[in-house]
Amino acid sequence: MATILRARDFRVVIYSNDHPPPHCHVMNPRGAAKIALGEGPVRPWVMASKRLARQQLKQALELVIEHRELLKRRWSDIHGQ
């Protein structure tokens, strides 16, 4: 597990033994979400969520959208794709 980013009370991680499609896990003390990074023109989307309120989930998705290119590069570095 590599922590890629910390922002807005969230920690964004990518697991080294994870599966496609490229995605990250966004966590805070209240819950977590798995968010796909999207490929090409497809924007990031929420794959799963646990205990995050709707507003927190929206913030997590906005964070991933804002840092999408960094997260895609790190996914590629970790998974070699």
- Looking at residues 25-35, what average pLDDT do you find? 98
Distance CA 10, CA 29 (A): 8
User: Quick one: pLDDT band at residue 1, thresholds 50, 70, 90?
Assistant: confident
Sequence-distant (6+) residues with CB within 8 A of 69 are none
Kindly report, residue by residue over 40-73, the tens digit of the pLDDT. Answer: 999 999 999 999 999 999 999 999 999 999 999 9
What was the pLDDT predicted at 58? 98
Please classify residue 66 by burial: count the beta carbons closer than 10 Å to its beta carbon, then call 0-12 exposed, 13-18 middle and 19+ buried: middle
